[in-house]
Structure 1
Amino acid sequence: MPITSTGMASGVPIETIVSQLVALERAPLAGLQTQATKIQSKISLFGTLTSMMNSLGELGTKLADPNAFKAVKGSSSLAAAVGVTAATGTAPTAMSVEVSQLARAQSTATLAVPKDTAMGAGSLKITLGDWSSGSFVAGDKAAVDIEIAEGEDTLTAIAAKINAADAGVTATVLRDATGERLLMRSKETGEAMGFEMQVTDSDGVANTGLSRLAVQGGVASGVQITHGANALATINGIAIESASNTYKDGLPGITLQFSQTTTAPVEISITNDKEAMTKTIQSFVDAYNALNDMLSSTTGYNSETKVAGSLQGDSTAVGLQNALRGMMRSFTPGGEFTTLADIGIDIKSGGKMTVDSTKLGKALDNPQAVQNLFNADHVDPTAQGFGEKLKTFAEGFAGASGTLTSRSESLREAAKRNTKEQEKVNERAVRAESRYLKQYNAMDAMVGQLNSLNAFVTQQIAQWNKSTG
């Protein structure tokens, strides 16, 4: 309610007095607002801790994956000629590869015709099949028919129709000083992935009109044919043949990519990818250290700045910090490595985690033993693999009913109560302002009446004195 009286009758500064009284009514707001700021800060901090704990749990899941320590990599002594990739879990091995022929797709080129010549009416029938026997043998896929209109379809239009028909070939037009030619190519490589194009020409005359495009050996029409071919290579001296330059069916988990023929053996090796496995472990260490640093800064006391962390003394945060450090020192029986320290991961003073790269590298020479440390299966939860324990630990703190989640919810409830308390203080201040104004304005009015009465009495006395004088 706005203050409207200034104490004109009484001379009392009502506006100032009421304002000060209302300020006293609102005095509890300062404490409540400070408390609200602290609550919101804690909500934010616990939200961050929950997110970091979830990230750590996800890394636990990754570490517990049976393939986490089965990463391998392939190397080639001449990658420009023979590339190699290996699937996770492939056993380390080595081999020598020589490539005598690359796989290629069938390609054709017609004789040149004047540019933008209409090729005549008729139809094309494209059939996929095999030329390896010296004559064409149709494959299992049905032939594709394409209609060509009289006086309308140039080589460019015909190429577009072939491409749109999805007949297993691609077509384009090559233009030069002699005119233009229709070029066609199989979509797939290999001698069994060729094609034939039969032509039904409306003019019925060989080598004229549409019949100039026939791909049936190239004898009648003059179409040049380069037949498809398989890749030919040897692996450790054993001859192999592949319709594609990507060879993978004969080597489980290993894919070879042939790019050039070779003049000498290319050495291929598949080895454990210790670098990839080290990155997985380092990601876990980094995530743990980030969470540990967060807990240390928020629960500790900075002696230099003499400022306590926002969560100093908070039982949930301190409990998490202690439990986290303790869990990192847990024991997993039954394997060559039973603790993180065994593979070079140590907890230093202040909870900081460090990695001894030399020790870890040596441990990763036996990736199966490292894997057992992280995903060993035991009935006793405390004896589970470290990755499994980390998943369970994260769920216990950051899951739907976890400790951090419950603490965040209780803080949000506290924030709601704080908001209601502030509303109550403001409501009391508004009511008090109205009450004070009413009381002081009533006093001011009464003083005004008394002043008027005093003035009247004084006037009457003065007149009486004059009349008796």
Structure 2
Amino acid sequence: MASIASLGSGSGMDLNGLIDKLMTAEKAPLQTLLLKEASYQAKISAYGSVKSALAAFQTSLKGLSSVQTFRSTTATLADSSIATVNSNSLAQPGSYSLEVSQLAQNQKLTSNAFSSINTGLGTGTITLQFGTVDSHGTDATGDDTFTANAKKAAFSIDITDKNNSLAGVRDAINLANKGVSASILNDGTGSRLVLTSKDSGAENSIKLTVTDSDGNSTDTAGLSALAYDPAGTRNLIETQAAKDAKFKIDGINVSKPTNSVSDAIQGLTINLTKVSSPTSTGATTLAPTTITIGADLSGLKDSIKGFIKAYNELNKTLKDVSSYTPGNATTSAKAAPLNGDSAIRAIQNQMRSVVNEMQGEGSYFKSLSDIGVSFTGYQTDAKGTIVGGATPKGDLSLNEAKLQAAISSHPGDVANLFTVNGVASSNQITFLSGSLATQSGKYAIEVTTPATQAKYSGSALSFFKVDSSNNTKNVTLGGVSASLTLDNNDYTTESLAAQIKSKIEADSTLFTSGSDTVKVEYNKLNKNFDISRERVVAGTPPTTQKDSMALAISSAPKPITIDDNNKTLMVSVDGVISQPVTLSKGSYATMADLAAEMQSKINSDESLVRGGKTVGVAFNESTSKFDLSSGLYGSTSKIKITGVGDAATSTTAATLGIVVGGYSDTPSGPTVGYTYTAGADVEGLIGGEKAKGTGQSLTGTGASEGLSLIVTASTAGDYGSVSFNRGVAFALDKLLDGMVKDRTGLVAKQTDGVNASIAQLAEKRVRMNRQYDATEALYRKQFTAMDIAIATMRNTSSNLTAQLANLPK
């Protein structure tokens, strides 16, 4: 059989070239596939550009969706030496007069001089407490009283033989870091311990109680050398008294514990620096200065221009990746990678819809077009979809004259178009937030059940003391007066009302048996007893005469004494149990003073502090009871008395009316000496639909879904309305969230779809190349056989020719 050295050598033909041409024809579909794959890759790149542009626009919206961005204000003070002023978005334009008569200051206490910072001071316990000192208008200190600051917890420090030096006490106080700083001053005569209240204000005066291990806690020997009780032993020297800042705003007296005041005028912070100068030499009146607050209109306009610029930059990217340029005689038509892409159209339409969205009831401006911001190049319907035949350019444009007029007249309402904003008509309703599901509009607010705290009320105490100093009272009813003498005794509010009633009914000039009705009630607001009488007057027909008066009864001094038998109690607050709480022993002038002491000491308990739990303690004069309440509102609020000292000797119940008991596992009612009221979540309606209540938080459903409010109202009733607007910037931000998320966003889904198509094309390309390889191999096999056959025939031809030539002629 003939053989060939290479394909085509047998036949003399260019068979390799012929196979290449045949394979080129065979691979024509592959070229189409590669072009399609390249177009898909271009789409992936274009989607990447779109995602980057969307993310950049969303970043710019973060600041725009904040109300502070749009509602900037400026504040100035005519006399800047008196104070500095700063305003925020909540400040309202206007002017106010300011007159400063006293600056706030911290209290400073100094010890006597010691020979060295290492001087031993003895051992024991130091308890520091904050409160207000009342001098009763005299220079003498003997009548001064101290009322604990119920909002600040007391704290104790153990002084042992390891830290009982002057330096050791200083370091122990500073390590506690509870509102008092300590330092040592050497004045040339010796070293003095200096204590400074970290917070200024009259209610932050310091009381330092010592339990000295030498048995005497008031002398100047041992640790008691540091004792300082404004109403008792004063072994420290007050070098600077705690004072409130006192000033007038528009002639109204204002007192604040600090020189930095941010709650006198909403949105304005005043930093007091100096007392106002007198109007003239020797004058007692002070010269006022003027605070002026104005709207920063330039900042508002710049923010809106920034929004338009950011929107148009995004729109340019969307147009570039989806554009189409028709061909002409010299150029071919050109389509961008995402021309005709449904996702791009969806992004454009959804964004236009948000920008064109009408604001709900309660908004002064209903749309951006009302302030001069509008689209150019086409008309849209209510949903933002392009209609008509105009070229869809889609950029935002600004009518600056229209915007300026809107800003000048209603700057706050301009800001509302862009920002999430809820405005409550009642100061007992506070807007917290809204969601994308919350529809813009004005929602009526009705509170059916206010949120409450769990409350423990002890038994009634006889806190009214009636004796010869206050037992004679004049009562006048219907023009008739009588002098009544009350029985000397200690009374509860209820029993004193009953005593007054019985004395009136026993006086024949004031009361006629059988025809008169007398009622006596304590008025906790005015702190007096309201007396009312109804009398039937003879006649045809008989008439009813009604008379009333208010009777003031000032209680004689009746100090409450706390000693070893009634100084301790334990409480459980929202499931956290305190350690034994020890009240300061001594005589308390009023029930209010004792309530402040109880609250301060309970709230300083380490277990409750770690658990973030607090209580409120108040003496309710209407019921004559101490009320203890959890600081938490709602159904999870709980409070319970778990201990009252040594059960065998404790007189806590008699002194405070407090016995063990409270929530869940104990009964409630007068028979056990206390009452317990569970906390309740707020309940109510937002926009006429039942809302969800948790604590003081009320969250809307239906049209107001996602609208979250804080309700501080203490009674049921209608509380006006809340006007809610999502704002364009907020709505766009939330819309973009659904577009740029990595896996679930619109762009990600589109990209995933294209990537899937590319993967399918790649698999098809592999299959086609395998088929082409097989086809080429078949061609080569067939052409090789043909080449060999031709070579064989040529050899045969050559042999025959040679043989014929050799035949005899």
Q: Same fold (TM over 0.5)?
A: yes
Match of 1:144 among 136, 146, 155: 155
Change (3 A) 1:192 1:330: closer
- For 2:42, the equivalent position in structure 1 comes to 38
Aligned match of 1:284: 307
- Structure 2: how far apart are the matches of 1:92 and 1:253? 10
Displacement of 1:197 in angstroms is 1.6
Shift of 1:429: 1.2
- Distance, in Å, in 2 between the alignment partners of 1:225 and 1:393 is 60
Q: Counterparts of 2:114 and 2:23 in 1: how far apart (Å)?
A: 100
Q: What is the alpha-carbon distance in structure 1 between the residues aligned to residue 101 and residue 397 of structure 2?
A: 51
Alignment match of 1:119 (pick from 121, 124, 128): 121
Structure 1 position 268 matched with structure 2 position 311: no
Matched, 1:76 2:90: no
Query: Does the CA contact (< 8 Å) of 2:50 and 2:318 recur in 1?
Result: no
Structure with a larger share of its residues in strand: 2
**3-state SS of paired residue (2:201):** coil
| 1:182 alignment partner in structure 2 | 193
1:244–1:397 Cα change, 3 Å: closer
Partner of residue 231 from structure 1, selected from 226, 245, 268: 245
* Range with bigger deviation, 121-130 or 75-84: 75-84
- In structure 1, the partner of 2:758 is 418
Partner of 1:466: none
Q: Which moved more, 1:428-437 or 1:35-44?
A: 428-437
Write the mapping of 1:391-430 to structure 2, written as runs, cut at 5 A: 409=749, 412-430=752-770
Counterpart-to-counterpart distance in 1, 2:725 and 2:326: 33
1:342-421 matches, cutoff 5 A:
343-345=371-373, 352-357=395-400, 359-367=402-410, 370=414, 409=749, 412-421=752-761
Q: Which residue of the partner structure matches residue 3 of structure 1?
A: none
* Whole-Å separation in 2 of the counterparts to 1:224 and 1:54: 59
Rate the CA distance shift 1:184–1:443 in 2: closer, same or farther, 3 A. Answer: same
Q: What letter is aligned with 1:310?
A: A
Secondary structure at the counterpart of residue 290 of structure 2:
strand
Is residue 102–residue 275 contact of structure 2 (8 Å, CA) maintained in 1? yes
Rounded to whole Å, the distance in 2 between the matches of 1:413 and 1:426 is 20
State the alpha-carbon separation in 1 of the partners of residues 731 and 163 from structure 2. Answer: 72
- Correspondence for 1:191: 202
Matched, 1:98 2:99: yes
Q: Given that residues 57 and 395 in structure 1 are in contact (C-alpha distance below 8 angstroms), is that contact kept between their aligned partners in structure 2?
A: no
Mean CA deviation greater in 282-291 or 99-108: 282-291
User: What is the match of residue 671 of structure 2?
Assistant: none
Q: What displacement does 1:293 show?
A: 2.4
Matches of 2:241 and 2:414 in 1, distance apart? 53
Do the aligned partners of 1:56 and 1:288 also contact (CA within 8 Å) in 2?
no
1:366-388 per-residue CA deviation (whole Å, 9 max, x = no partner) reads 1166468779869xxxxxx9986
Task: Give the AA of the match of 2:242.
Answer: G
* C-alpha distance in structure 2 between counterparts of 1:57 and 1:397, whole Å: 10
Q: How far apart are residue 103 of structure 1 and its match?
A: 0.5
What letter is aligned with 1:292?
N
What residue is the counterpart of 1:215 in the other structure?
228
Structure 1 residue identity aligned to 2:317: M
Quote the residue 1:172 is aligned against.
183
Equivalent residue for 2:564? none
The one-letter amino acid paired with 2:131 is G
Greater relative contact order (Cα < 8 A, sep 6+): 1
- CA apart distance, 1:98: 1.5
Q: What is the DSSP-based 3-state SS (H/G/I as helix, E as strand, rest coil) of the residue aligned with 1:365?
A: helix
User: Is the CA contact 2:61–2:307 (under 8 Å) kept in the aligned structure 1?
Assistant: no
**Cα 1:187–1:397, aligned 2, differ >3 Å: closer, same or farther?**
closer
What displacement does 1:184 show?
A: 1.5
Distance verdict in 2 for CA 1:337–1:142, change over 3 Å: closer
Q: Which of the two has greater helix per residue?
A: 1
- 1:330 shift after superposition: 9.1
Q: 1:177: Cα distance to partner?
A: 6.6
Q: CA deviation at 1:268?
A: 0.9
Deviation at 1:165, TM superposition (A): 3.6
Conservation of the 8 A alpha-carbon contact between 1:32 and 1:422: no
RMSD (Å) for aligned C-alpha atoms: 5.3
Task: Give the CA deviation at 1:104.
Answer: 0.8
Task: Measure how far apart 1:324 and its partner are.
Answer: 7.1
- 8 Å CA contact 2:125, 2:157 repeated in 1: yes
Do the aligned residues in 2 keep the contact of 1:97 with 1:235 (CA within 8 Å)? yes
- SS of the residue corresponding to residue 271 of structure 2 reads strand
1:119/1:155 contact within 8 Å kept: yes
Gap change, CA 1:70 and 1:439, over 3 Å in 2: closer
> C-alpha distance in 2, partners of 1:226/1:59?
46
TM-score, structure 1 normalization:
0.70
Structure 2 CA distance for partners of 1:318 and 1:14, relative to 1, 3 Å: same
Q: Does the Cα contact within 8 Å between 1:101 and 1:233 map onto a contact in 2?
A: yes
Taking a change above 3 Å as real, the CA distance of residues 308 and 209 of structure 1, as seen in their structure-2 partners, is farther
Q: Aligned in 2, Cα 1:182/1:355: closer, same or farther, shift over 3 Å?
A: farther
Question: Cα distance 1:73–1:445, how it changes in 2: closer, same or farther (>3 A)?
Answer: same
Counterpart of 2:768, as a letter, is R
Distance 2:16 2:164 in 1: 96
For the 8 Å contact 1:56–1:394, the answer to whether it is kept is no
* TM-aligned CA distance change 1:256 to 1:59, over 3 Å: closer
Q: 1:438 to 1:115 in 2, by over 3 A?
A: farther
Cα distance in 1 between the residues matched to 2:333 and 2:186: 80
| Matched position secondary structure for 1:239 | strand
Equivalent pairs counted in the alignment come to 439
Gaps of 5+ in 1: 1-6, 379-384, 463-469
1:114–1:178 contact (8 Å) kept in structure 2: no
The answer on whether the counterparts of 1:74 and 1:270 sit within 8 Å (CA) in structure 2 is yes
Match of 1:246 among 257, 260, 271: 260
Is 88-97 or 350-359 further displaced after alignment? 350-359
Amino acid in the other structure paired with 1:96: S
Which whole-Å CA distance do the structure 1 matches of 2:339 and 2:33 have between them?
A: 25
> What is the alpha-carbon distance in structure 1 between the residues aligned to residue 749 and residue 735 of structure 2?
15
Amino acid at match of 1:363: A
Residue 197 to residue 80, structure 1, CA distance change in 2 (3 Å)? same
CA distance in structure 1 between the aligned counterparts of 2:62 and 2:110, rounded to whole angstroms: 57
Matched, 1:314 2:337: no
More displaced, 385-394 or 44-53? 385-394
Q: Could you give the per-residue CA deviations for residues 401-430 of structure 1, whole angstroms, max 9, x where no partner exists? A: xxxx77874564344223212321222213
CA contact (8 A) 1:162 1:171 kept: yes
User: Among the aligned pairs, what percent are the same residue?
Assistant: 22
Distance 1:91 1:222, change over 3 A: closer
What secondary structure sits across from 2:183 in the alignment? strand
| In 2: Cα distance, 1:142 partner to 1:333 partner | 48
- The residue identity in structure 1 corresponding to 2:174 is N
Alignment of 1:16-31 (within 5 A): 25=27, 27-31=31-35
